[in-house]
């Protein structure tokens, strides 16, 4: 791996770490605006994290080691995910370590651990949240996998960097499959990031909560890490979406200028994406928990159909 | 294939036979010391574990070295036992040795008083079982194969019946034995086809035969039927969820970890080695059956409320996945696409190895839990991670591997499998081209569901608060049990972290079976697992793990450095809800409920909903395997009816009997008159 | 050729002696002693035959060749073990008052006479004498079956007598026809009923007559083998007699009858150009296997069940010989051997079990393994063996038969598959609760003789894993003699 | 003297007629007598044949038959009937005319079987084979249709007659030793049957076969 590769890799990680809370803040701000609330500041998430880190963390008296490990593991998984998703550049030394399938596996790993941690304390809410999270997961994972496969059918590869390069370099052809997979991806990423209409990120004490129900027992630095991980997950998903559907502007190997240029491009794209997400969250209502499987099954089917369309139209 | 073996290294085969002999002797020793539990536990089982290690070593070195043959002066006079140790058998020796080493060590600590059958007898059956499996893998003629096969069946049958006081266990044993025997008959007929009227039952001769497509297909279908019955493929799976829970846990581990694989070994042996022709629809058939089995198994395992049944159904699922892999490989090789065929085969074999390790690990852990708590129903467990950490943490590893999560063994297999299902474009038939990638979606769904199952399994048993008071003083696993489980854990982790080395072992097998392998594409990639080319797909578990661990560590250190590590213990908050009781946790049934709703058509369900005016309302739901009602019971009823009719022949009237003789005489005379 | 003299003489003398003194206590041991003597003589005879080939003795009236000499040894051996088994068994029966001294005398005398008739039938060269011996065997066993004098045993014996008598009569008619056919070749004064001389000229026998003759012979001796439409006597006779008698009936008598059928088959195959004996035997065999399997599934009486399993196995053997060819014939002979070993072993175990339980109803026999583990395991292993579980010898022959049939007579394999499956299911589901689980039984006054059970099972086991060369020599020669 | 064969055929026909008569006969006592007559005819036939062929052993077998079938067995049967007084009429399972019709069918069938063979017969009375065969079949049918023990036994014995007749006429008699063996078996068999009849009688106090239907598949 080249020196430049190392640089871009480190930059990707740094961007993920720093930009993620900003992204969350941005989305929250927009949503508040669209709902005619007075919006929190853009940097609010940083303040929250800082405050949580300062606070001491209160553990349930019989919480096991697993419970304490989980935040770090989840944080680690998400960081790695952000590191292998081509955000700024496709010249990532880490990316051969994990391709699309491994990326999905990575998310699954994090999910499993957080659900286990939720069950660890043994509260009603925790186990309920864990079950729902797994329910969402077992439908969202294959759907995401299918979406990625759809792209990799085109690029004849499951390695993310290759996918992005081929997609970025192809002459501007219309892939009807991308219409289907795009919709599917949006649905999946809403579900994965615990957003309306599947889950509501900023409510407690709702019988329908999922993500919040799982992290109820966390506090202090553990909570901070989980929140940070969540925002990194959001960032990772947005970057995947951008990489799949708007792969332009991502730097190639040994192109330092492009690398410098890539950052602002990314920020712009993310900003737009965030606004869109806020729009969706505003315009759609949270659905009953029993509807969620149908919602996700639809996403899964859309992705599969997309795959079929790919094959039918003889792509790749 | 079956060229002249090099006389230099015949040591492997002899070594394997020595291990067999040793096991038999250990078994006999067990019978001699029939009731002396301590002796059997502390001396015999560890000894056999040692021999397992020997077998493992032999297998590893035999994979690379060429085939070895030998002839034992046993069996039928025209047909002594032919033995042959080729790469395929060697691979299975590795599997048997590796798993049984751990399980035997675990068993040394496991067996207590009051297992029904005296420990010495169990020891005998256990070791006869192991020995017969090794013989089976080494067998090179139909007779030796069948003898070993049926010996395996009936030693395992007695082990399943070990606790025969309980009627359910007797029924389970009966069902198991019956299905096994029906399958064996199928295999017998399959060999009957393969020997093609030459009266020569050696595999060498069978390889030499050129069967017509019709007979070849008959043989293949019979093989899938016969071996599938043992492997638990649909629709002959019914015995599996009954027999696995019935057996003592170490043996359930062996059944699920080794025996099911041995059945698949039979499929491999017949369809990839003995049959020279390959027809594309064989692959499709195998894939269809496999995936159907896998989906069925995983859906049923999510809704189980009993530890071992849950694991048993999950075994069905994994076997289905392996069968699907074999089917795909068969399909490719029928079209002469060697590289892809090798990829699919490697994936299936890899899954086989890792499943052997993590599933036997999980079964061992259930055994430990049952010993500690006396409970086998998930609804009465919970919170054991605090009282028995030595069981909980290994189980966690096993569960993660079973859920197919990186960086463990299960994921590598799943990854390879998905790769092979993904890159099928270029099959001559466009229909298949479309079909296969969609099947990849099914596989993704299945593995995600197995993740669901594993979270339920581990979470309900080990996490949360104990659902019964007595769980508080559950004792942890003993020394031997720990050793056994740790060995299996090591297996799972190594399979996860060193795929290239393992595939290096698998390469000779795929070379032999489909004439290609992954080794050359792996060469020079160091830690990077690259089935085809780096651009196409790559995966490096070690880097992956290091990445996660590094960020884990960094986060930990930084948080501690920049801020502090203060923690305070307090009662759980739970949204400030004051009256927390253990009953408020989600139950196993509750965990299965969403899946039950989504896949409702797959179950045969009966619900009792309470009316609003019930004094003490109760909600009861029972669900069963529909195949039981669509297949097994009708067959039984049919046999019953026929035998009733035939029974009418014999009503005790001597005049009628004389009439039979008379009519028979007349008929025979008429026949010969022509 | 004194060995033969002893083989036939010892049981004859024995029957005389025991007919007089059979009610004394020492009679049991004398019985064993005579059987042992017979067995020794048989071994000597075998050794001589193996040493220097088949031979004719006593002015060609007796003919010993590999085919019958191995059956002779088998008969003598099972006769011996059964005698050993019947010592404690019959004593218990006597204690329970089911056997009076008179009946004991009858029993012992007839036991020896029965083995004499069987040995005679096996060794004689004269088809007429063969018939006479078979009929005599029927008569002796009729008396043995009815020895309890209960209503059921009388009924069984009556049916046995009438049905087998009628059947055997057909065989006599067939013999007459053969004689007629032979006379035209050998002339009125030729040794026309001697099997060897018939065998020598079988090529020239008139096909029409031989065809008719074989039809009658098959029906006749087939009745005693227990081919299905003719089998009706068999379960009754097996179930109602004393257990040792059941053991020798299904262990030995069926074999002897089968032997007679085989001798006739050889002649017929030689005389006819078209295949007649083969298809007929395959048909009867298959029918027996299938029907017996379905009968098995509705049995309540343990001895009845195992007698049906005898029918099933005889059918399998018949099918094998019907297929013909070296492999199938070999398999048939092997199956005859192991079946008689295993089935008699099972009957020994069952005998003890029924005595413990005081009933033959299976649903009332429970948990043998708890009261008497050895009997329990004996029964369990025996049943496993008879169901064709390796490494017992039954499996070896079933293996050969099925695999050969698969390419030789594919049409038959579905039926065999079905029948074997049904038989397995039906017997296992009955036997498991008898052996395992909680028990209802009480221990016995006299310790059971378990030696025979395990000796037989061990032999069957050995035959499944390793067939000694000289035994194999017999089989191969015999199979060759049976031709294809 | 070429009318000897005709005489033999005459006796053969007599035997056939007698077995038809037995089928149609309802009374046990006269059934026994008919059986005796059949024996007499058999004896006469074999003596004639012996006289014609000049084979001594035919006389011996004739003597055996006389002793057994004409004197001993009928006497025993009469005795049994008297002792157990079962001299009443027999109801048959199938009514007599039907039986006769079936019997005629059987005769035709057995002739059609025997004809191609009997012309090959070396003996002068080869034609008798068909008759012997039909005797066997007729007595077989008689055993089927009679529901009492004694008539069954008589049917069994007359079947034996048919066999002996076949042996005598078709092949000029079997070897002596076989003849003796057969005779011995028949004798012992009858003895045993006699004993059984007494025992059955004392168990079921009737000789009706319907009592012997306990052992069956239910």
The answer, yes or no, to whether D and B have at least 3 beta-carbon pairs within 8 Å is: yes
d(C-alpha B353, C-alpha B59), whole Å: 13
Interface of B with D in 651-670 (CB under 8 A): 651-655, 658-659, 661-662, 665-666, 669
Lowest mean pLDDT segment, chosen from A186-200, B110-124, C4-18? B110-124
Q: What's the pLDDT at A264?
A: 85
Contact C408 B197 (CB under 8 A): yes
d(C-alpha A215, C-alpha B484), whole Å: 35
Q: What's the pLDDT at C203?
A: 85
Q: What's the pLDDT at C375?
A: 84
> Does position B8 have pLDDT exceeding 60, yes or no?
no
Contact D214 C155 (CB under 8 A): yes
The answer, yes or no, to whether A and D have at least 3 beta-carbon pairs within 8 Å is: no
Whole-number percent of chain D with pLDDT over 70: 91
Chains in contact with chain A (at least 3 beta-carbon pairs closer than 8 A): B
Average confidence score pLDDT of chain D: 83
Q: What is the mean pLDDT of residues A284-311?
A: 85
Q: What's the pLDDT at C42?
A: 92
Contact C126 D196 (CB under 8 A): no
Residue in the block written with tokens 């007796």: C62
Chains in contact with chain D (at least 3 beta-carbon pairs closer than 8 A): B, C
| Burial label, B534 (beta-carbon count in 10 A; 0-12, 13-18, 19+) | middle
> Does position C228 have pLDDT exceeding 90, yes or no?
no
> Does position A195 have pLDDT exceeding 90, yes or no?
no
Q: What is the mean pLDDT of residues B579-603?
A: 80
d(C-alpha B458, C-alpha C274), whole Å: 72
Comparing C-alpha atoms, which of A127, A146, A141 is closest to residue A192?
A: A141
User: Is there a contact between B572 and A121 (Cβ–Cβ < 8 Å)?
Assistant: yes
Q: How far is C160 from chain D (nearest CA, A)?
A: 12
Residues of D within 8 A of C129 (CB-CB) are 177-178, 181
Six-digit token pair at A113?
A: 């651990």
Q: What's the pLDDT at B410?
A: 87
Q: What is the mean pLDDT of residues B255-280?
A: 90
Q: How far is B603 from chain C (nearest CA, A)?
A: 27
Q: What's the pLDDT at D83?
A: 83
Residues of B within 8 A of D216 (CB-CB) are 650-652
**C-alpha distances in Å from residue B103, one per residue of A11, B120, B126, B647:** 48, 17, 11, 49
d(C-alpha D200, C-alpha B132), whole Å: 57
User: Highest mean pLDDT range out of A147-151, B614-618, C164-168?
Assistant: C164-168
Q: How far is D152 from chain B (nearest CA, A)?
A: 10
Q: What is the mean pLDDT of residues A98-102?
A: 86
Q: What is the mean pLDDT of residues A293-300?
A: 88
Q: What is the mean pLDDT of residues B422-440?
A: 77
Q: Where does the pLDDT of residue C19 fall: very low under 50, low under 70, confident under 90, or very high at 90 and above?
A: confident
> Does position B21 have pLDDT exceeding 80, yes or no?
yes
User: Is there a contact between B153 and B175 (Cβ–Cβ < 8 Å)?
Assistant: no
Name the more confident of C441 and C414: C414
Q: What's the pLDDT at C204?
A: 87
Touching check for D188 and chain C: CB below 8 Å? Answer: yes
> Where in chain D does DSSP place strands (E)?
none
d(C-alpha C283, C-alpha C21), whole Å: 47
Q: What is the pLDDT of residues B258-270, one digit of tens each?
A: 999 999 999 999 9
Contact D209 B654 (CB under 8 A): yes
- Please give the full DSSP string across C388-445, using - where no structure is assigned: T-TTSHHHHHHHHHHHHHHHH-GGGHHHHHHHHHHHHHHHHHHHHHHHSSS------S
Name the more confident of B91 and A286: B91
Q: Which of B415, B549, B571 sits opposite A61 (nearest CB)?
A: B571
User: Is there a contact between B381 and B460 (Cβ–Cβ < 8 Å)?
Assistant: yes
Touching check for B607 and chain D: CB below 8 Å? Answer: no
Contact D170 C176 (CB under 8 A): yes
User: Is there a contact between C168 and C138 (Cβ–Cβ < 8 Å)?
Assistant: yes
d(C-alpha B214, C-alpha C373), whole Å: 50
Q: Where does the pLDDT of residue D89 fall: very low under 50, low under 70, confident under 90, or very high at 90 and above?
A: low
Catalogue the long-range contacts made by D179-183 (C-beta closer than 8 Å, 24 or more residues apart).
D179/D57, D179/D60, D179/D61, D179/D64, D180/D64, D181/C128, D181/C129, D181/C131, D181/C132, D182/C128, D182/C131, D182/C132, D182/C135, D182/C172, D183/D64, D183/D68
Touching check for B664 and chain C: CB below 8 Å? Answer: yes
Q: Where does the pLDDT of residue B489 fall: very low under 50, low under 70, confident under 90, or very high at 90 and above?
A: very high
Classified as helix, coil or strand, C384 is: helix
Q: What is the pLDDT of residues B139-182, one digit of tens each?
A: 988 889 999 999 999 899 988 888 888 888 888 889 999 999 99
Classified as helix, coil or strand, A314 is: coil
> Does position A108 have pLDDT exceeding 50, yes or no?
yes
Touching check for A116 and chain B: CB below 8 Å? Answer: yes
d(C-alpha A84, C-alpha A90), whole Å: 9
Q: What is the pLDDT of residues A219-231, one digit of tens each?
A: 888 899 999 999 9
Residues of C within 8 A of D188 (CB-CB) are 136, 139
CB neighbours of residue B443 within 10 Å: 24
Q: What's the pLDDT at D88?
A: 65
Q: What's the pLDDT at C280?
A: 92
> Does position B332 have pLDDT exceeding 50, yes or no?
yes
Q: What's the pLDDT at B318?
A: 93
Contact D163 C169 (CB under 8 A): yes
d(C-alpha B447, C-alpha B437), whole Å: 16
Q: What is the pLDDT of residues C259-281, one digit of tens each?
A: 999 999 988 888 887 888 889 99
Q: What is the mean pLDDT of residues C106-120?
A: 93
Q: What's the pLDDT at C224?
A: 92
Q: How far is B639 from chain D (nearest CA, A)?
A: 16
Q: What's the pLDDT at B166?
A: 83
d(C-alpha B503, C-alpha B493), whole Å: 15
What is the Cβ-side half-sphere exposure of residue B242, based on CA atoms within 13 angstroms?
23
Which distant-in-sequence residues (6+ apart) come within 8 Å of B54 by Cβ? B15, B19, B97
Residues of A within 8 A of B586 (CB-CB) are 119, 124, 127-128, 130-131
Contact D212 B654 (CB under 8 A): yes
Whole-number percent of chain B with pLDDT over 90: 23
> Does position B5 have pLDDT exceeding 60, yes or no?
no
Six-digit token pair at B157?
A: 């049958």
Closest residue of B to D138, CA-based? B662
Name the more confident of A8 and C34: C34
Whole-number percent of chain C with pLDDT over 90: 36
Six-digit token pair at B335?
A: 């079209």
Quick one: angle between helices C151-186 and C233-240, nearest 10?
A: 130
The phi and psi torsions of A200 (rounded to 5 degrees) equal -115, 115
Contact A75 B555 (CB under 8 A): yes
Comparing C-alpha atoms, which of A2, C290, A61, C285 is closest to residue B580?
A: A61
Q: What is the pLDDT of residues B51-86, one digit of tens each?
A: 888 888 888 888 888 788 888 888 777 778 888 888
The phi and psi torsions of B642 (rounded to 5 degrees) equal -60, -45
CB pairs below 8 Å between C and D: how many?
A: 126
Indicate which of D91, D139, D140 best probes the interface with B, i.e. most B CBs within 10 Å of its own CB: D140
Q: Where does the pLDDT of residue A254 fall: very low under 50, low under 70, confident under 90, or very high at 90 and above?
A: low
Residues of D within 8 A of C141 (CB-CB) are none
| Burial label, C298 (beta-carbon count in 10 A; 0-12, 13-18, 19+) | middle
Lowest mean pLDDT segment, chosen from A96-105, B574-583, C282-291? B574-583
CB pairs below 8 Å between A and B: how many?
A: 255
Q: What's the pLDDT at C417?
A: 92
Touching check for D135 and chain C: CB below 8 Å? Answer: no
> Does position B523 have pLDDT exceeding 80, yes or no?
no
Q: What's the pLDDT at B3?
A: 44
Chains in contact with chain B (at least 3 beta-carbon pairs closer than 8 A): A, C, D
In chain C, what are the helix, strand and coil shares in percent, each to the nearest 5?
80, 0, 15
Q: What is the pLDDT of residues C456-471, one digit of tens each?
A: 888 888 888 888 887 8
Closest residue of C to B651, CA-based? C232
Interface of A with B in 10-49 (CB under 8 A): none
Q: Which residues on neighbouring strands pair with residue C62, listed in sequence order?
A: C57, C124
Contact B535 A149 (CB under 8 A): no
Closest residue of D to C157, CA-based? D196
Touching check for D163 and chain C: CB below 8 Å? Answer: yes
User: Highest mean pLDDT range out of A31-40, B426-435, C282-291?
Assistant: C282-291
Q: Respond yes or no on whether ipTM tops 0.90.
A: no
Q: Where does the pLDDT of residue B1 fall: very low under 50, low under 70, confident under 90, or very high at 90 and above?
A: very low
Touching check for B650 and chain C: CB below 8 Å? Answer: yes
Six-digit token pair at A6?
A: 């190392």
> Does position D194 have pLDDT exceeding 90, yes or no?
no
Classified as helix, coil or strand, B385 is: helix
């Amino acid at each position: 791996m080249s020196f430049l590769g190392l640089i871009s890799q480190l930059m990707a990680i740094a961007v993920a770490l720093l930009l993620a809370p900003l992204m969350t803040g941005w989305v929250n701000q927009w949503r508040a605006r669209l709902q005619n609330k007075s919006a929190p500041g853009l940097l609010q998430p940083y303040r929250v994290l800082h405050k949580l880190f300062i606070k001491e963390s209160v553990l349930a008296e019989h919480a096991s080691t697993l419970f304490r490990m989980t935040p770090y593991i989840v944080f680690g998984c998400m960081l790695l995910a952000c590191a292998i998703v081509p955000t700024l550049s496709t010249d990532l030394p880490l990316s051969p370590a994990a391709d699309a399938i491994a990326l999905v596996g990575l998310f699954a790993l994090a999910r499993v651990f957080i659900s286990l941690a939720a069950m660890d304390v043994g509260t009603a809410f925790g186990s309920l949240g864990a079950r729902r999270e797994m329910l969402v997961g077992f439908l969202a994972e294959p759907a995401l996998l299918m979406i990625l496969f759809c792209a990799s059918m085109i690029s004849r590869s499951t390695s993310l960097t290759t996918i992005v390069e081929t997609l970025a370099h192809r002459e501007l052809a219309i892939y009807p499959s991308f219409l289907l997979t795009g919709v599917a991806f949006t649905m999946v990423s809403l579900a994965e990031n615990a957003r309306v209409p599947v889950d509501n990120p900023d409510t407690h004490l709702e019988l329908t909560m999922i993500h919040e129900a799982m992290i109820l027992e966390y506090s202090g630095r553990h909570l901070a890490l989980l929140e940070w991980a969540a925002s990194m997950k959001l960032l990772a998903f947005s970057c995947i979406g951008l990489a799949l559907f708007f792969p332009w502007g991502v730097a190639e190997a040994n192109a330092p200028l492009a690398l410098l240029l890539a950052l602002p491009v990314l920020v712009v794209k993310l900003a737009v994406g965030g606004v869109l997400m806020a729009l969706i969250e505003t315009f759609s209502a949270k659905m009953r928990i029993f509807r969620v499987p149908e919602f996700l099954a639809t996403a899964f089917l859309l992705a599969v159909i997309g795959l079929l369309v790919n094959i039918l139209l003889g792509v790749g | 294939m079956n060229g002249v073996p090099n006389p230099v290294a015949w040591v492997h085969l002899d070594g394997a036979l020595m291990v067999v002999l040793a096991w038999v002797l250990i078994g006999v020793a067990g019978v001699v010391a029939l009731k002396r539990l301590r002796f059997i536990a502390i001396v015999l089982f560890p000894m056999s574990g040692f021999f397992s290690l020997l077998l493992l070593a032999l297998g590893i070195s035999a994979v690379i070295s060429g085939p070895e043959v030998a002839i034992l002066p046993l069996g039928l006079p025209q047909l002594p036992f032919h033995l042959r140790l080729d790469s395929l058998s060697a691979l299975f020796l590795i599997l048997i040795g590796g798993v049984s080493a751990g399980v035997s060590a675990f068993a040394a600590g496991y067996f207590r008083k009051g297992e029904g059958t005296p420990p010495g007898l169990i020891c005998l059956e256990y070791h006869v079982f192991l020995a017969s499996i090794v013989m089976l893998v080494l067998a090179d003629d139909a007779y030796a194969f069948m003898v070993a096969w049926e010996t395996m069946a009936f030693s395992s049958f007695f082990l399943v019946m070990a606790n025969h006081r309980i009627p359910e266990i007797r029924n389970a044993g009966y069902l198991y034995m019956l299905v096994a025997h029906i399958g064996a008959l199928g295999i017998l007929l399959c060999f009957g086809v393969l020997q093609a009227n030459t009266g020569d039952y050696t595999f060498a001769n069978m390889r030499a035969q050129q069967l017509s497509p019709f007979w070849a297909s008959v043989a293949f279908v019979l093989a899938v039927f016969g071996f599938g019955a043992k492997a638990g493929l649909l629709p002959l799976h019914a015995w599996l969820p009954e027999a696995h829970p019935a057996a003592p846990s170490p043996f359930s581990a062996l059944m699920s970890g080794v025996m099911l694989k041995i059945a698949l070994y039979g499929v491999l042996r017949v369809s990839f080695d003995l049959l020279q022709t390959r027809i594309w629809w064989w692959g499709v058939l195998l894939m269809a059956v496999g995936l159907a089995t896998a989906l069925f198994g995983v859906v049923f395992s999510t809704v189980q409320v009993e530890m071992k049944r849950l694991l048993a159904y999950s075994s069905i699922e994994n076997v289905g996945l392996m069968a699907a892999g074999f089917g795909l490989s068969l399909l490719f090789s029928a079209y002469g696409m060697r590289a892809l065929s090798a990829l699919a085969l490697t994936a299936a074999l890899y899954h086989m190895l890792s499943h052997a390790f993590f599933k036997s690990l999980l079964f061992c852990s259930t055994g430990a839990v049952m010993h500690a708590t006396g409970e086998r129903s998930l609804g009465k467990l919970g919170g054991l991670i605090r009282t028995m950490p030595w069981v909980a943490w290994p189980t966690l590893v096993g569960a993660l591997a079973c859920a197919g999560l990186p960086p463990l063994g299960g994921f590598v297999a799943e990854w390879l499998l998905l790769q092979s299902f993904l890159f099928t474009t270029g099959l001559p038939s466009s229909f298949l081209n479309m079909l296969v990638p969609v099947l990849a979606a099914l596989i993704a769904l299945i593995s995600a569901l197995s993740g669901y199952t594993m979270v339920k399994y581990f979470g309900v048993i080990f996490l949360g608060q104990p659902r019964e008071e007595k769980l508080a003083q559950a004792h942890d696993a003993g020394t031997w049990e720990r050793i056994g489980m740790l060995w299996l854990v090591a297996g799972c982790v190594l399979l996860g972290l060193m795929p290239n080395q393992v595939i290096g072992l698998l390469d000779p097998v795929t070379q032999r079976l489909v004439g290609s392998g992954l080794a050359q594409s792996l060469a020079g990639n160091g830690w990077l697992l690259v089935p085809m080319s780096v651009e196409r797909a790559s995966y490096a578990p070690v880097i992956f793990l290091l990445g996660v661990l590094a960020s884990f560590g960094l986060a930990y250190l930084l948080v501690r450095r920049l801020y502090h590590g203060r923690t305070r213990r307090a009662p759980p908050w739970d949204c400030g809800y004051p009256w927390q009781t253990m009953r408020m946790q989600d139950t196993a049934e509750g965990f299965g409920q969403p899946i039950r709703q989504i896949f409702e058509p797959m179950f045969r369900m009966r619900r009792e909903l309470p009316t609003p005016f019930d004094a003490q309302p109760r909600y009861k739901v029972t669900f069963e395997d529909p195949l039981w009602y669509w297949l097994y019971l009708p067959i039984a009823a049919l046999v019953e009816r026929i035998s009733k009719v035939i029974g009418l022949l014999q009503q005790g009237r001597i005049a009628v009997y004389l009439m039979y003789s008379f009519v028979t005489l007349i008929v025979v005379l008429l026949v010969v008159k022509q | 050729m004194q060995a033969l003299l002893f083989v036939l003489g010892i049981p004859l003398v024995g029957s005389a002696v025991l007919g007089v003194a059979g009610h004394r206590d020492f009679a049991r041991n004398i019985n064993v002693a005579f059987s042992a003597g017979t067995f020794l003589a048989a071994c000597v005879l075998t050794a001589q035959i193996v040493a220097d080939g088949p031979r004719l003795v006593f002015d060609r009236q007796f003919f010993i060749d590999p085919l019958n000499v191995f059956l002779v040894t088998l008969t003598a051996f099972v006769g011996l073990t059964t005698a050993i088994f019947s010592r404690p068994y019959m004593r218990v029966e006597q204690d329970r008052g089911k056997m009076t001294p008179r009946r004991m005398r009858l029993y012992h005398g007839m036991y020896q006479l029965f083995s004499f008739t069987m040995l005679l039938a096996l060794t004689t060269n004269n088809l007429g004498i063969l018939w006479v011996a078979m009929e005599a065997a029927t008569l002796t066993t009729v008396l043995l079956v009815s020895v309890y004098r209960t209503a059921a045993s009388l009924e069984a014996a009556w049916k046995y007598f009438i049905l087998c008598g009628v059947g055997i009569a057909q065989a006599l008619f067939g013999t007459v026809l053969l004689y007629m056919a032979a006379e035209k070749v050998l002339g009125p004064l030729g040794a026309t009923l001697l099997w060897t001389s018939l065998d020598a000229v079988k090529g020239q026998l008139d096909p029409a007559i031989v065809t008719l003759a074989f039809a009658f012979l098959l029906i006749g001796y087939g009745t005693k083998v227990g081919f299905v439409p003719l089998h009706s006597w068999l379960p009754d006779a097996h179930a109602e007699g004393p257990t040792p008698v059941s053991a020798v009936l299904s262990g030995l008598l069926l074999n002897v009858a089968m032997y007679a059928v085989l001798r006739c088959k050889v002649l017929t195959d030689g005389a006819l150009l078209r295949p007649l004996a083969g298809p007929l035997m395959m048909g009867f065999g298959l029918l027996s296997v299938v029907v017996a399997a379905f009968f098995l599934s509705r049995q309540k009486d343990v001895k009845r069940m195992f007698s049906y399993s005898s029918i099933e196995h005889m059918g399998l053997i018949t099918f094998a010989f019907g297929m013909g060819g070296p492999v199938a014939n070999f398999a048939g002979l092997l199956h005859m051997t192991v079946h008689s070993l295993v089935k008699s072993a099972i009957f020994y175990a069952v005998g003890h079990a029924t005595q413990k339980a005081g009933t033959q109803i299976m649903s009332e026999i429970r948990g043998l393994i708890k009261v008497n583990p050895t009997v329990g395991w004996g029964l369990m292993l025996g049943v496993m063996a008879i169901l064709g579980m390796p490494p017992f010898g039954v499996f070896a022959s079933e293996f050969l038969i099925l695999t050969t049939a698969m390419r030789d007579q594919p049409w038959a394999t579905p039926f065999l598959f079905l029948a074997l499956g049904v038989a397995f299911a039906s017997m296992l589901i009955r036997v498991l609760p008898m052996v395992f689980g909680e028990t209802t039984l009480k221990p016995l006054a006299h310790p059971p003789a378990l030696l025979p059970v395990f000796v037989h099972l061990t032999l069957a086991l050995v035959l499944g894993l390793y067939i000694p060369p000289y035994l194999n020599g017999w089989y191969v020669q015999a199979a060759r003699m049976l031709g294809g | 003297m070429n009318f000897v064969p005709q005489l033999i055929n005459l006796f053969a026909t007599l035997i056939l007629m007698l077995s038809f008569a037995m089928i149609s006969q309802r009374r046990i006592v006269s059934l026994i007598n008919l059986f005796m007559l059949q024996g007499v005819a058999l004896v006469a036939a074999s003596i004639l044949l012996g006289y014609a062929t000049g084979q001594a052993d035919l006389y011996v077998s004739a003597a055996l038959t006389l002793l057994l079938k004409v004197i001993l067995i009928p006497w025993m049967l009469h005795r049994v009937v008297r002792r157990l007084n079962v001299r009443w009429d027999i109801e048959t399972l199938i009514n007599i005319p039907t039986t006769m019709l079936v019997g005629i069918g059987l005769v035709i069938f057995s002739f059609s079987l025997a004809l191609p063979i009997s012309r090959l017969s070396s003996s002068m009375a080869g034609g008798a084979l068909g008759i012997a065969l039909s005797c066997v079949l007729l007595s077989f049918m008689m055993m089927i249709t009679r529901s009492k023990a004694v008539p069954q036994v008589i049917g069994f014995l007359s079947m034996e007659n048919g066999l002996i007749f076949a042996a005598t006429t078709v092949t000029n008699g079997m070897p002596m030793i076989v003849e003796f063996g057969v005779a011995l078996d028949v004798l012992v068999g009858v003895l045993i049957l006699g004993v059984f009849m007494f025992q059955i009688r004392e168990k079921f106090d009737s000789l009706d076969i319907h009592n012997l239907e306990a052992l069956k598949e239910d």
